[in-house]
């Protein structure tokens, strides 16, 4: 059992997308659950979404001047070496001032300099890799850190085998209880209890292909008697708002970003989602029948690999991004009316859930501190 006598001091670093930020917050919440006196500091990248989302979750964050390398020649690329040197120096100062017992990296730009500085000072360190294909920052850090917690088996091609621990992805604890919140969710979104609800989530930044496909098929979905809770991302939100206005009274609800994802899952009968690692972990815990549309714009097409792990277990339906305009609305209407198929998908995806991921990662961290 973890030692509850001493509060620890832990730095958690990384971000860029919800797929990095929410696991980080789940780890922080688990540390606080073990000992509320534990002190946690987040380190992110200036201008990225963690600088907003982490304070909303109740934690302090410091931003580093760091970004990724663009594929084309830009001023950002020319300044990249300067940013790295500046961020490593800032990280050394953060570690010297905060004096952490351990550091955690969750991927994203900021975790590189912070973990580089921490390991140079022999601070116990752990990285958490969410995907079936490891990110470049985590691959570079793997030789320096003490442990690597992963969500998928067979990650030895990316990381030293003796450092690997299969934990799954930590998700927000409120999602585990979402099944009990249907009445609250219906009221929150202003929906009709007598209609089935389709939830559309393209990731925290939205998904253009999914948005365009749904926009083209809203009339068919509404005519079939289904409601929509639709997270569009910022880029498509104005267009979606106009669609919501047009279908006022028919249960079309649009959001650029949904903060209460527990309620979104609670109200959903069927989900359309990208196949990011965090989304799949949440869908598994919520036990939702899902249609996955993997993003083609990710390293080594890892979202398709994430999705196929479920499809092979009859735990989700796959629609390729290139086929979404023609097939997605047909697929969701077909699934929404087939309750037996929904039940099978739900049963099978629940078997893939790892509800204790945050606790398992924190236990590994405490072993390192000791």
Annotated binding site: 17-19, 131, 172, 204, 258, 303
Q: Are 288 and 349 in contact (CB under 8 A)?
A: yes
Q: Report the candidate in 301, 200, 302, 208 with the shortest Cα–Cα distance to residue 257.
A: 200
Burial of 355 (0-12, 13-18, 19+ CB in 10 A): middle
User: Helix (H, G, I), strand (E, B), or coil: what is residue 268?
Assistant: coil
**Binding-site residue set for UDP-N-acetyl-alpha-D-glucosamine:** 17-19, 131, 172, 204, 258, 303
Measured CA to CA, the distance from residue 80 to residue 160 in angstroms comes to 28
Contact by Cβ (8 Å): 295, 203? yes
In the numeric block, the tokens 């087939």 are attached to 338
Instruction: Using the CB atoms, write b or e for 263-287: b if 16+ within 10 Å.
Output: bbbbbbbbbbbbbbbbbbbbbbbbb
Residue 104 bridge partners (DSSP): 12, 126
């Amino acid at each position: 059992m973890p030692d509850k006598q001493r509060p620890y001091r832990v730095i958690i670093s990384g971000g860029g997308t919800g797929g990095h930020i929410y696991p980080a917050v789940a780890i922080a919440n688990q540390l606080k659950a073990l000992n509320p006196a534990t002190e946690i500091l987040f380190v992110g990248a200036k201008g990225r979404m963690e600088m907003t989302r982490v304070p909303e979750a109740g934690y302090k964050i410091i931003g580093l001047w760091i970004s990724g390398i663009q594929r084309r020649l830009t001023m950002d690329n020319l300044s990249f070496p300067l940013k790295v040197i500046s961020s490593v120096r800032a990280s050394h100062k953060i570690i010297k001032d905060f004096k952490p017992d351990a550091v955690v990296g969750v991927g994203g730009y900021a975790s590189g300099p912070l973990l580089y500085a921490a390991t140079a000072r022999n601070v116990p360190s752990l990285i958490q890799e969410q995907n079936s294909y490891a990110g470049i920052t985590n691959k570079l850090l793997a030789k320096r850190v003490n442990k690597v917690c992963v969500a998928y088996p067979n990650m030895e091609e990316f990381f030293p085998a003796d450092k690997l621990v299969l934990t799954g992805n930590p998700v927000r604890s409120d999602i585990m209880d979402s099944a009990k919140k249907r009445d609250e969710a219906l009221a929150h979104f202003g929906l009709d209890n007598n209609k089935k609800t389709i939830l559309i989530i393209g990731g925290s930044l939205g998904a253009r292909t999914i948005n365009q496909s749904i926009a083209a098929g809203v009339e068919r979905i509404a005519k079939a008697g289904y409601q929509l809770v639709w997270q569009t991302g910022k880029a498509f939100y104005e267009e979606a708002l106009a669609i919501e206005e047009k279908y006022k009274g028919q249960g079309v609800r649009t959001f650029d970003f949904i903060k209460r994802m527990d309620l979104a899952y609670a109200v959903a009968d069927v989900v359309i989602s990208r196949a990011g690692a965090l989304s799949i972990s949440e869908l598994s815990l919520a036990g939702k029948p899902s249609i996955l549309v993997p993003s083609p714009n990710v390293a080594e097409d890892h979202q398709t690999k994430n999705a196929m792990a479920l499809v092979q277990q009859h735990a989700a339906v796959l629609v390729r991004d290139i086929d979404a305009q023609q097939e997605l609305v047909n697929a969701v209407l077909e699934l929404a009316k087939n309750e037996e198929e929904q039940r099978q998908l739900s049963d099978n995806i629940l078997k893939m859930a790892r509800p204790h991921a945050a606790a398992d990662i924190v236990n590994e961290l405490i072993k390192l501190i000791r």
